[in-house]
Amino acid sequence: MAAWNNGKTQRIYVITSYGMNTQDMLSDFWFDLLNQNKGRSIDFHNWAGYDSILSLKSLVNLRDLTFEPVLNNNEVISVRVKLIIRLNALLLILSSYYLRAWLV
């Protein structure tokens, strides 16, 4: 399962609706997340850990995007996603673990 909520809209993606195909489910997740949240910063719980490993392949396989990752101890702590055509940020993905550490 994958889900997002921006306070106005929420989407939930259930693997059984995709014939157990995680790549198709995650591609739809990223496509909707990018299109419904342009210019926003998104906080992912556990992004620096296992969640980013599972979902990054589907994100980087989307067309016409560039990525500016920030790593700390070989863990992804943020990724700025940009459209190649415009090169202005579509989305900034942050790890809630590191975000909390920066605020302390």
Neighbours of 50 (CB within 10 A): 9
Q: In 3-state terms, what secondary structure has residue 57?
A: helix
Q: How many domains does the chain have?
A: 1
The mean pLDDT value for 40-63 works out to 78
**What's the token pair of residue 69?**
């990752």
Give pLDDT tens digits for 63-75. 888 888 888 888 7
Q: Is residue 100 packed enough to be buried (19+ CB in 10 Å), middle (13-18) or exposed (0-12)?
A: exposed
Residue 94 has a pLDDT of 64
Q: Which residue has the higher pLDDT, 104 or 34?
A: 34
Supply the mean pLDDT for the chain: 79
Range of the domain at 46: 2-103
Q: How many residues does the chain have?
A: 104
What are the residues whose beta carbons fall under 8 Å from the beta carbon of 47, sequence distance 6 or more? 76, 77, 78, 93, 94, 95, 96, 97
